[in-house]
Structures are given as C-alpha cells and as structure tokens.
Amino acid sequence: MSEFLLAPSILAADLARLGQEVDAVLEAGADIIHFDVMDNHYVPNLTFGPIICQALRNYGVKAPIDVHLMVEPVDSLIESFAQAGATMISFHPEACKHVDRSVQLIIDSGCKPGLVLNPATPLNHLDHIMHKLHHILLMSVNPGFGGQQFIPQSLDKLRQIKQLIMHSGHNIRLEIDGGVKVDNIRSIAEAGADMFVAGSAIFNQSDYQQVIQQMRQQLAL
C-alpha cells in the first residue's frame, strides 16, 4: 500500500480533444484518470456525466477511472457510472441521506467505493463505514472548480485521517484533491496521502511527462 498513484483530473484538460489528452497523460506516466462530476446543485458548476465516461472506454482507455461525484442526490448515478466503465466511485456524505446504502450500491455495482470529505466536513462521517471503503478522498479546496489554492489546514486533517486508517486496520487509500502541485506534493505525501489528484498542475503545462516526472521525483525524495 505504499505505492503512490497520480490521478490527473480531466476537468483541466482540453475537452475538445479529451481522448488524446487522456492518452497523453497516461503515456506521460499517470496511473488513474480522475473524473469530476458536477451538477450545478451540490456544487455551483456543471461538467460531464456517464456518457463521457463511456466515450472514454469506447475510445480505448484501459486505465482505472476514478469518478468523483459532486452531485445530489447520489444513488441514481451510481449504476449508470458503473455501466459506463467507472473503476472507483466516491461521493460526499452531505449529499446523501443513507451513506451505508450508497457505499453498498457502489460495491454491488462492481466498483470501489470512496467517501469524500470537504475541508470543513467533520471526520465522524467516517464512523461505522471505514470497513467498506476502498478510499477516502480529502478535498483540499472547496469543491466545484479547478485551479484553486491548496488549503494548508488540509495537511493536519490528512494526518488525522491517516491515523484513523491505521487504527482501523483496513487497507484504505487516502486521496487528496485540490491545489496539488510539484512544490507541495511531498509535504502532502508526508502527511499521509497516497493518491494525488492534479488538474491544472498537469494540464496547464505543455510537457505532461516532465511535470509527472517532477512529481514522482518529489515523492521519491
């Protein structure tokens, strides 16, 4: 479980060339494709749904697709994302009435479930559900937009979640999302994260391989 995984967020990609952009980041060394689903209801922005996920699979993308649902309600999209080729599906507990039921729906649909905590979401949302989780996603910005600044208090929250994971005895990945860059990824890893979402830090560069290598070098230090 010590392997670090890099998950570029296609929110920052050139969406008119999405298939090629995904190919390019995977060839550049990315592990996972992070897929931000926004509904203009739970968050004040609107992105893409299952048909785009299916389009990536039809195009030939084989890498894991990490679907981050910023939607309310949650359950009605789980099965359609599973059928569209999602590998992991995470959601925000505030957007959901029955967290255990939604996690179980993700498992039953054949995907790996994750719970997402916003910067101000208390950690007790993890109580009684950790045993079913594949990953916990900590937002280090408020959800809804790419290109925001990493909130520094997230490091302390990461350490607390890492402790909870270790005490739980379960193999749970700890994913961080928002404002991840070459110059802060090392301190984020030291605080306990092992999956890193990065949108603007990767897609705003012309050389994806270079920035991904720089991130890996920071993680290897």
Residues with catalytic annotation?
36, 177
Burial (0-12, 13-18, 19+ Cβ within 10 Å), 75: middle
To the question of whether residue 68 is assigned a binding role by annotation, the answer is: yes
> Which residues would be at the binding site for ligand DX5 (CB under 6 A)?
9, 11-12, 34, 36, 68, 141, 143-144, 146-148, 177-180, 197-201
Listing DSSP states for 25-88 in one string gives: HHHTT---EEEEEEBSSSSS-B---HHHHHHHHHHT--S-EEEEEE-SS-HHHHHHHHHTT-SE
Compute the least distance from the CB of residue 147 to ligand DX5, in Å.
5
> Which residues would be at the binding site for Zn ion (CB under 5 A)?
36, 68, 177
With CB atoms as reference, the residue minimizing the distance to ligand DX5 is 199
Nearer to Zn ion, 36 or 39 (CB): 36
The length of the chain is 221
To the question of whether residue 140 is assigned a binding role by annotation, the answer is: no
Compute the least distance from the CB of residue 169 to ligand DX5, in Å.
29
The two beta strands, 112-117 and 65-70, are: unpaired
Cβ of 181: how many Cβ atoms within 10 Å?
17
CB contact at 8 A, 191 and 175 = no
To the question of whether residue 60 is assigned a binding role by annotation, the answer is: no
Nearer to ligand DX5, 113 or 178 (CB): 178
CB contact at 8 A, 115 and 125 = yes
Binding-site residues sit at: 9, 34, 36, 68, 144-147, 177-179, 199-200
- Summarize the annotated binding site for a divalent metal cation as residue ranges: 34, 36, 68, 177
Feature table: binding site for substrate:
9, 68, 144-147, 177-179, 199-200
